[in-house]
């Protein structure tokens, strides 16, 4: 059984493998608890990442892009995700529960597409339909077979984009084969490079034609826990405000969240283009990301081509 490195900040390191878990009582979340609940109901908050990357509004939707999120499940009943999750799958356990009891997947979905309304927060794009595949257990662990089942399901749904805010330490044949299958079908794959503290990026982010995403802070600098090596682009990954799994909002850190920002940009780009869905689509998307990226501090093996944004679409 293989374990995945869940890409978000940890307060625990397990023996033999870097394994990251959410702390319910992180400093950021304690600060958030001091915000009066009614403030979220009266005003829509714009996260700092959205201010830099940009976002579409509800009236900007040209067509819906099918985005699969392979994660811990999603709270589809969150008021800021109403109508966004169209299909669910779970490869976890005998109960096949779709619920997000960890909180990671809901935060990822919120960054990509939190609703454009008068409360809460807003996501990068409104032009998506979310396909949620629960592959991470409620304790944050993942079995290789569960991940493979989820990836197979996403491919059979003929989605346009797959967000992988997770990563493996070592290669295995089934992973390489399914990634190749998805790419041949014209599916864009976007994966977190990992919180490796200066070590190499994870898999599948290291694969050719998988878009590998690193992270930056509000000063547009890479963070101390950033990966190096095959980094294509970066996204906001520190002090990230998004949805949580209990219907509220929390702050998070890690390349999981920067990956979601890039996924949002890609989905918005695809929604505004009339591209043929085949193997060549990856190059067109990649060239757009390069063209739209802002320069950030750091060399190419830590920040890649920079920070993709929504512009000149």
Q: Give backbone dihedrals phi and psi of 12, rounded to 5 degrees, phi first.
A: -150, 140
Q: How far is 305 from 214, CA to CA, in rounded Å?
A: 11
Stated as kind and residue range, the H or E segment containing 203 is none
Q: How far is 271 from 65, CA to CA, in rounded Å?
A: 6
Q: Which of 10, 21, 71, 282 is catalytic?
A: 71
Q: Which of 10, 90, 100, 104 is catalytic?
A: 104
> Which segments of 34-123 does DSSP mark as H helices, in order?
37-42, 48-53, 104-113
- Is 104 catalytic? The answer is yes
- Say what angle helices 173-184 and 144-156 make with each other, to 10 degrees: 10
Q: How far is 31 from 29, CA to CA, in rounded Å?
A: 5
- Is 78 catalytic? The answer is no
Number of helices (H), then strands (E), belonging to the chain: the values are 9, 13
Q: How many CA atoms lie within 13 A of 197 on its CB side?
A: 6
Q: Judge contact between 17 and 169, C-beta under 8 A.
A: yes
Give 212's strand partners. 191
Q: How far is 163 from 288, CA to CA, in rounded Å?
A: 18
Stated as kind and residue range, the H or E segment containing 288 is helix 281-292
Q: How far is 64 from 68, CA to CA, in rounded Å?
A: 13
- Is 26 catalytic? The answer is no
Give the active site residues: 71, 104, 256
């Amino acid at each position: 059984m293989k374990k995945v490195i869940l890409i978000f900040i940890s307060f625990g390191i397990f023996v033999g493998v870097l394994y990251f878990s959410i702390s319910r009582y992180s400093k950021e979340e304690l600060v958030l608890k001091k915000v009066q609940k009614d403030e979220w109901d009266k005003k829509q908050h714009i996260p700092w990442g959205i201010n830099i990357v940009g976002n579409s509004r509800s009236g900007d939707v040209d067509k819906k892009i099918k985005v699969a999120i392979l994660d811990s499940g999603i709270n589809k009943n969150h008021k800021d995700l109403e109508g966004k999750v169209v299909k669910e799958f779970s490869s976890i356990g005998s109960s096949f529960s779709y619920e997000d009891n960890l909180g990671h997947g809901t935060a990822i979905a919120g960054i990509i597409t939190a609703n454009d309304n008068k409360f809460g927060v807003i996501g990068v794009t409104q032009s998506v339909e979310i396909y949620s595949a629960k592959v991470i257990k409620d304790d944050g662990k993942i079995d290789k077979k569960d991940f493979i089942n989820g990836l197979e399901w996403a491919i059979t749904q003929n989605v346009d984009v797959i967000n992988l805010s997770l990563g493996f330490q070592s290669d295995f044949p089934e992973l390489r084969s399914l990634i190749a299958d998805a790419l041949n079908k014209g599916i864009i794959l976007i994966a977190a490079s990992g919180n490796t503290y200066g070590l190499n990026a994870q898999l599948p982010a290291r694969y050719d034609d998988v878009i590998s995403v690193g992270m930056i802070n509000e000063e547009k600098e890479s963070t101390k826990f950033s990966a190096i090596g095959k980094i294509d682009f970066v996204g906001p990954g520190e002090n990230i405000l998004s949805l949580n799994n209990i219907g509220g909002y929390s702050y998070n850190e890690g390349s999981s969240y920067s990956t979601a920002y890039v996924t949002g940009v890609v989905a918005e780009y695809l929604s505004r283009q009339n591209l043929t869905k085949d193997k060549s689509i990856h190059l067109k998307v990649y060239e757009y990301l390069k063209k739209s990226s802002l320069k950030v501090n750091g060399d190419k093996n830590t920040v890649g081509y920079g920070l993709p944004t929504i512009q000149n679409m």
